Amino acid sequence: MKIICIGRNYSEHAKELNNAVPTAPVVFMKPATALLKDDKPFFHPEFSKDIHYETEIVLKIGKNGKYIAPKFASGYISAVTVGLDFTARDLQQQQKEKGLPWEIAKAFDGSAVIGRFLPVEEVPNMTAIAFSMQKNKVQVQAGNTADVLFDFSSIISYVSQFFTLQQGDLIYTGTPVGVGKINIGDVLEGYIGEQHLFTCEIK
């Protein structure tokens, strides 16, 4: 199982980090050891003083495929949830300045939080999924997949040129504006619409 992530897929978020709005999807990956599920807590590592939450819609791939055409791509999604792409912003900034890869800032243990998956049949409109995240019961991020720069079909088609998609792979589809720092003691809760899909306590 692999975890593929799309960066800068909402233009307002790209701007808040002073990044250019991309013309092709920005792709990075996390290993399976990054996965944090079943509402397990996140233990804040010592290597970063500035870990950010990024709330994202996460797709689960339901069948294997390569060179998937956009018109067939939706058939490869079996389920959807909301998750967090934890990012060590201080390390990422250092890596970006040096032109180095992001893995130490993005792919660390527990950096890929996922909620309970909803089968696609239960999601009425995949092109307009409203999602949000509350930190300590206050909403800090809200997005809608209608606002993405690259829609799910474009993402699946693009990444499947490079990586064979396999059943069970996950794709994080990017965060809307409003990312921010986590602190020990915070409780983060993710929603699709009104449905509560994860709780993640920072320890």
Least Å distance between CB 121 and Zn ion? 27
Alpha carbon distance 90, 191 (integer Å):
27
Least Å distance between CB 170 and Zn ion? 12
Residue 91: which of 30, 46, 135 has the closest Cα?
46
**Of the two residues 3 and 165, which places its CB atom closer to Zn ion in the complex?**
3
Classify residue 47 as left (phi > 0), alpha (psi -120 to 50) or beta: alpha
Tokens found for residue 126: 């995949």
Residue 141: which of 200, 195, 82, 93 has the closest Cα?
82
Alpha carbon distance 62, 59 (integer Å):
9
Are 129 and 192 a contacting pair, CB within 8 Å? yes
**Of the two residues 25 and 65, which places its CB atom closer to Zn ion in the complex?**
25
Least Å distance between CB 13 and Zn ion? 8
Least Å distance between CB 173 and Zn ion? 9
Binding site for Zn ion (CB under 5 A): 54, 85, 175
**Of the two residues 66 and 181, which places its CB atom closer to Zn ion in the complex?**
181
Least Å distance between CB 143 and Zn ion? 11
Are 92 and 107 a contacting pair, CB within 8 Å? no
**Of the two residues 145 and 175, which places its CB atom closer to Zn ion in the complex?**
175
**Of the two residues 65 and 174, which places its CB atom closer to Zn ion in the complex?**
174
